[in-house]
Amino acid sequence: MKRMSVLFALLAVLALASLAVAEDKAPADGKNMCLLYTENCPNQQPTIQQTIQALQAEIKKGPAVYSRAELELLRQKLANAQSLLNWMEYGGR
């Protein structure tokens, strides 16, 4: 069981490592391509809390900016980030 928790944590960290908050050069359509597809990301890695806040902000933009598939992808990334934060704070309990 502990091995599964460590594996999950490692996978989540690797997934989050590809996320970064792109604050500069937002596309004209308002999409955050760094959060969505890990494109045009700055060199600075955000904290998990910053990533969660950025994902929540992007999801709030809704269908006016993002397609259904893109919103689902953002929601999945948010769930992964929240799970990782929970695991880090409470040790997977």
Q: Look at residue 11 and give its three-state secondary structure.
A: helix
Q: Which of left, alpha, beta for 76 (phi over 0: left; psi -120 to 50: alpha)?
A: alpha
Task: Report the predicted TM-score, pTM, of the whole model to 2 decimal places.
Answer: 0.68
Q: What is the pLDDT of residues 10-35, one digit of tens each?
A: 455 445 444 443 344 455 688 999 88
Number of other CB atoms surrounding residue 23 within 10 Å: 12
Q: What is the pLDDT of residues 37-64, one digit of tens each?
A: 888 788 888 999 999 999 999 999 999 9
